[in-house]
A and B are shown apart, each in its own frame.
Chain A
Amino acid sequence: DAMVIQNPRYQVTQFGKPVTLSCSQTLNHNVMYWYQQKSSQAPKLLFHYYDKDFNNEADTPDNFQSRRPNTSFCFLDIRSPGLGDAAMYLCATSTEAGAYEQYFGPGTRLTVT
């Protein structure tokens, strides 16, 4: 009965080699988020979708892109990963705007070599 699924759970990529992380949800929620979480730090919001509307945080590097082809799926693309991009990437969902609870997936641990 997994609600927010992230694949893969662990990803190793080389410096500068594009990588894509995926998130899917069975909750039919309108809003999907991508967070970056580095060790011993709070999750940092990268961007979110409200339906198809994309909302980028002002301090999210251009190196990070996202796609949401349908309600259930959302992808995080890192075009040229650097060593500083090694982190846990968390996907979360919530219902209509104003419904606050965010449901987080288990995360993808990204290692950059």
Chain B
Amino acid sequence: QQQVKQSPQSLIVQKGGISIINCAYENTAFDYFPWYQQFPGKGPALLIAIRPDVSEKKEGRFTISFNKSAKQFSLHIMDSQPGDSATYFCAASRWNFNKFYFGSGTKLNVKP
């Protein structure tokens, strides 16, 4: 059973546009929701993360929106740049559990 569902699988955005990637989860015990960015041939790197006590978190051009009642969270990339072209993974975890459940990934292509 897939614990975290991610969409879309791929996304093409023009430079300067907004990229939106969505994730949904099932387990209400999850209390940590990170987004990872992965470039080809590299390991994933933490981009931004949120806990369910807030509905939004912003870091620079990256924003997580969190809807606890709907069990959904999304990543918004404002003013998307070609350098943002990468694969993005959402994930979910819970306190003291030492395990992430990853979404299936979204390959973002920002066209110049």
Which parts of A91-113 form the interface with B (CB within 8 Å)?
A: 92, 94, 97-98, 100-107, 109
**Residues of B close to A42: CB separation below 8 A:** 89, 102-105
Interface string of B47-81 (1 = CB under 8 A from A): 00100000000000000000000000000000000
- Per the CB 8 Å criterion, the residue count for chain A at the interface is 24
Within the complex, which residue of A40, A98, A109 is in contact with B107, where a contact is CB–CB below 8 Å? A40
| A31, A42, A43, A107: most-surrounded residue (chain B CB, <10 A) | A42
* Distance (whole angstroms) from the CB of B106 to the closest CB of chain A: 11
How many A-B contacts if CB must be within 8 Å?
51
Q: Which residues of B contact A (CB under 8 A)?
A: 32, 34, 36, 41-46, 49, 89, 93, 95-100, 102-105, 107
| Interchain Cβ contacts under 8 Å between A and B, 29 examples | A40-B105, A40-B107, A41-B105, A42-B102, A42-B103, A42-B104, A43-B44, A43-B89, A43-B102, A45-B99, A48-B98, A48-B99, A50-B98, A55-B98, A90-B43, A90-B44, A97-B97, A98-B95, A100-B34, A100-B93, A101-B34, A102-B46, A102-B100, A103-B46, A104-B44, A106-B41, A106-B42, A107-B42, A109-B41
Closest 10 CB pairs of A and B: A104-B43, A42-B102, A100-B32, A97-B96, A98-B96, A104-B44, A107-B43, A106-B43, A105-B43, A90-B43
